Chain A
Amino acid sequence: MSVHKSLPHDAARLHVTGTARYVDDIPTPTGCLHLAFGTSPVAKGRLTALNLDAVRAAPGVVAVMSGADFEVIPDCSPSAHDEPLLSDGTIHYAGQPLFMVVAESHLLARKAAALATPEIAEEPAVLTIDDALAAGTIFEDGPRVYGKGDVEAALRMTARTIDGQLEIGGQEHFYLEGQAALALPQEGGDMVIHSSSQHPTEIQHKVADALGLAMHGVRVEVRRMGGGFGGKESQGNHLAIACALAARATGRACKMRYDRDDDFIITGKRHDLRIGYRVGFDPDGRVTAVDFTHYVRCGWSMDLSLPVADRAMLHADNAYDLPACRITSHRLRTNTQSATAFRGFGGPQGMVGIERVMDHVAHALNMDPLAVRRVNYYAEAQGDGTDASGGSLLAKMKAGARVLDSAAVAGRGAVKVDGGGGRAARFGGPHSRPPVAPRDAMTPYGMKVEDFALHRITTQLAAACDYDARRAAVADWNARQPVLKKGIALTPVKFGISFTLTHLNQAGALVHVYQDGSIQMNHGGTEMGQGLFQKVAQVAAARFGVGLDAIKITATDTAKVPNTSATAASSGTDLNGMAVQAACDEIRARIAKVVAPELQARAENVVFADGMVRAGTAAMTFGEAVQRAYMARISLSATGFYATPKIAWDRIAGQGRPFYYFAYGAACSEVVIDTLTGENRILRTDILHDAGSSLNPALDIGQIEGGFVQGAGWLTTEELVWDATGRLRTHAPSTYKIPACSDRPEVFNVALWDGANREETVYRSKAVGEPPLMLGISVWSALAQACAACGPAYPDLPAPATAEAVLAAVERARG
């Protein structure tokens, strides 16, 4: 069967030969024009004059448009209709597009754009969280508050409390392929768009809106993106709309791609947050209550900030059963790029908050942070049939050096995974006790945690990576070494899977079977490198019992499958896999009905496997069966549809079941810091991650490795710096540092937790796109441990833990 198999990425062959096409590689009709935006150099003010004469006169310029050229300036917002394509006279941030140039080449358009002389009456900009609090610039009518229990009472009655505050920086997506779009004008005013977008339906909708067309007048195609990470969920709208407008105005194909600097300066990034906390806890590390305040810097427009901030709140508990908890979330409007979706969608920031609390409590009690974590875990799911023989898949796909020790051991049955009771006790030393009957396994938003697996995952990972012995060795090292200090941390991830906007949890598919037995498959999900197309093709091949070579994967196309949701929230495979499965099963049932009499069987007993269609001993090839159906005048084309069951969510009340299930994982990282410079390295990372019954272990492990490194980058070297006037000063890789090959851990072991999803997902797999990013928190936590080893005081390490931040934290620890 083609599922549960480590197969390469569907386009791997094309990529290694340089023949995979991205938007900028698509051959264009002759006369294709190129666009560039002219942007605001200041963060806030009024545009008093915009002289574009020099721009118009520049070589190669065909057209120039500014806000003044539109009666109604087309809107680019995915939510609140508050993002005019070009400034309407009000300047909201440094980098905001003021006008667009249409020219004969990319370079000519960019050069011309630089010739404008905008006159702007500058106003004081609201840039920081403090600025926004002082100015009272917020989204929504006030803070959102979710929670459970009586936090005040619990904090009053508790043995000890700690207060703290944490700054968490944002993150630039740095998809390696920048934003790009191509518009091809059609007869009758229709438009075809190729876009590097995670959300073709949104592009279709916004372009139609801008052109004054019904959605049926616009077709959007997305074959692939060179990375998305959330940054192409809404941020591609501007380019597609601009190209469509220019294409309509000139009658020529129009293309736009952002130069990297423009991409940084114009587009939104991960939200930065300040998290305030007050936590109450017992002498054994049990948290009795937490009161969180999230200050979310949203930038100038609403974009996706509300659901992002919601998801931060929904992950403020992470893996911990908090008897009383309150999360108050302020969504602040600032004169900066409009912060947007980024892998994890606020979840990572919320999770960093509670992980920081666990570390802080452990520091106050002088306990092993892992013991504090474990004592606060939700109760383990009972009898869910999870097979914890992690690593059997791993052994198949990765060579010896990379096999996690325990995985191999577990495969031989030597590690008894017992739900975290007995074994857990050994991690915390005298302070820890096994998790007793849990509180109520209820999240702060009223969803019961029914599938918790982190006791077993933690136990197995801690044993595999030798956590206890290495923690002792680190302590020993730190006692002897005055300059280089080490830290080790094991942190868990529990990530909720589903769009929190319930109606988005739907997907469609279109499957055709041709007379020769070949199959074409289409669905609403987009391919950004995550391997979605391959995984879904594996599902289709499995349903028909054919080889993958029989399946043709086609570009996402709004003309084939309409009304799709963004490929986001890690839900691509869950949703589209099920929709494709439904379409395949429909066709399969039709074929079975046709051939059943010939096979002398009932239709429901006809089996599709190994390229054959059979019942008992009677069989024919799949191709023959297809021919029979065709000759019998039976349709060999079907749509499929899927809507995620069980979910219901009231985001205002903060109550319900926003998630179908949770994905779990844990990572243990060891780091070393140089206390003279703050320089630091990851020495080793071990990961055990739950991808359910993985559809494709190779692709899933790739997601885990890449997600971890991206998360570690976010929390260490990736620092966004705006100057006092609101200009982003880190706007290229020369100043913004993403992890390079030499930055990843020297020793890096990744294994899949081999358990089936208890919910009926596609072949019982679990979503794997976003959750691994948060495994990177282990690095940040280990760095905090290393800083704490430098003195008695709490180091109060912010994120990102740049060398500078580490150095300052070392000083604080020394007191």
Chain B
Amino acid sequence: MHETRTISLTVNGETSTNAVPVRQNLVDFLRNTLGLTGSHVGCEHGVCGACTLEVNGAMVRGCLMLAVQADGAEITTVEGFADSGRGADLRQAFVDRNALQCGYCTPGMLASALEYVEGGGVADRSAIREHLSGNYCRCTGYQSIVDAVCDVIDGRARS
């Protein structure tokens, strides 16, 4: 546990080099060492999706990846999406549609939804439901989240 390795990675556009415990997972590293607490942990074994973030262009579970595995990687968290403006329409739709209550699932949910939207997903409710079924939300009942994603896809199609 106390054994550490030094890793360099780019998080939200900024490069950092840190010595990390070899057993530490990526989301703990981001939260505890870099102070990026926007990514949440709900289960720490890959089921709830609260820790979903982007690593080298793919949405992954930050709790299922070790920090040392992210050596050299390019990582974007919810804070990074907000800073860069990427997915601004999705965030706005989550606000407008009341697609969050306690908000704990929101960062991970946004990441998965962004993956769907940017991947050319269509405004088909059952396809959206299927795509988001790996992200738990205990509060909303999901209806408003699917509404928000549909809005964004429709909006992007129009513009």
Contacts and interface: CB of A to CB of B under 8 A. Distances in A.
Contacts of A59: 1-2
Contacts of A531: 101
Contacts of A9: 95, 98, 100-101, 103
B96 A744 contact: no
B39 A177 contact: no
Contact of A176 (B126, B138, B147): B138
A36 to B, nearest CB: 14
Nearest to B79: A18
A176 B102 contact: yes
Nearest to B38: A18
Interface in A175-233: 175-178, 224-229
Contacts of A705: 140-144
A173 B102 CA distance: 14
B47 interface: yes
Interface in B32-82: 32, 35-40, 42-45, 47-48, 50, 77-79, 82
A383 interface: no
A16 B77 CA distance: 11
A52 to B, nearest CB: 19
A226 B43 contact: no
Contacts of A108: 1
Given A17-B78, A226-B103, A259 B136 contact: no
B100 A698 contact: no
A11 B103 CA distance: 8
Contact of B130 (A173, A402, A742): A742
A21 B37 contact: yes
B136 A177 contact: no
A529 B24 contact: no
Main secondary structure of the interface of B (DSSP, over half): loop
Interface stretch (A489-497, A606-614, A732-740, A777-785): A732-740
B142 A176 contact: no
Interface stretch (A245-253, A431-439, A554-562, A706-714): A706-714
Contacts of A739: 141-142
B63 to A, nearest CB: 10
A488 B100 CA distance: 30
Interface in B116-135: 125-126, 128-130, 132-135
B26 interface: no
B145 A18 contact: no
B40 A176 contact: yes
A176 B105 contact: yes
A24 interface: yes
A174 B139 CA distance: 10
Contacts of B134: 740
A684 to B, nearest CB: 13
A362 to B, nearest CB: 28
Nearest to A531: B101
Contacts of A260: 42-45
A108 B21 CA distance: 11
Given A18-B79, A20-B103, A742-B130, A229 B35 contact: no
A644 interface: no
B45 A734 contact: yes
A18 B78 contact: yes
A732 B45 contact: yes
B129 A17 contact: no
Nearest to B94: A16
B94 A177 contact: no
B129 to A, nearest CB: 5
Contacts, number: 190
A528 interface: yes
Nearest to B39: A18
B137 interface: yes
B141 to A, nearest CB: 4
Interface residues of A, number: 68
Nearest to B87: A16
A18 B101 contact: no
A259 B40 contact: no
A490 to B, nearest CB: 19
B138 A742 contact: no
Contact of B136 (A21, A733, A748): A733
A108 B107 CA distance: 27
Contact of B135 (A105, A741, A748): A741
Interface in A720-747: 732-734, 738-744, 746
Q: Which of B1, B100, B103 has the most CB of A within 10 A?
A: B103
Nearest to A27: B35
A69 interface: no
B95 A16 contact: yes
A189 B95 CA distance: 43
B91 A19 contact: no
Given A9-B101, A177-B40, A709 B141 contact: yes
A102 B145 CA distance: 40
Contacts of A706: 101, 138-141
Contacts of B37: 18, 21-22, 24-25
A13 interface: yes
B146 interface: yes
Given A22-B40, A176-B40, A738 B136 contact: yes
B126 to A, nearest CB: 7
A733 B142 CA distance: 18
Given A21-B37, A226-B104, A741-B142, A16 B82 contact: yes
A589 interface: no
Interface string B22-36: 011000100110011
A702 B98 contact: yes
Nearest to B23: A107
B65 to A, nearest CB: 16
B11 interface: no
A107 to B, nearest CB: 7
A16 B24 contact: no
A13 B95 CA distance: 7
A255 to B, nearest CB: 11
A15 interface: yes
Which 8 pairs across A and B sit closest by C-beta, in order of nearness? Answer: A18-B38, A529-B102, A226-B104, A15-B103, A18-B78, A529-B101, A709-B141, A705-B141
25 contacts: A8-B98, A9-B98, A12-B94, A16-B94, A17-B79, A18-B77, A18-B78, A21-B37, A22-B37, A107-B23, A175-B138, A177-B40, A226-B103, A227-B101, A259-B44, A529-B100, A529-B101, A529-B139, A709-B141, A733-B136, A734-B45, A739-B142, A741-B142, A744-B141, A744-B143
Given A108-B1, A226-B40, 11 more contacts: A8-B98, A9-B101, A11-B103, A12-B98, A16-B91, A16-B106, A17-B38, A176-B104, A224-B102, A708-B141, A741-B137
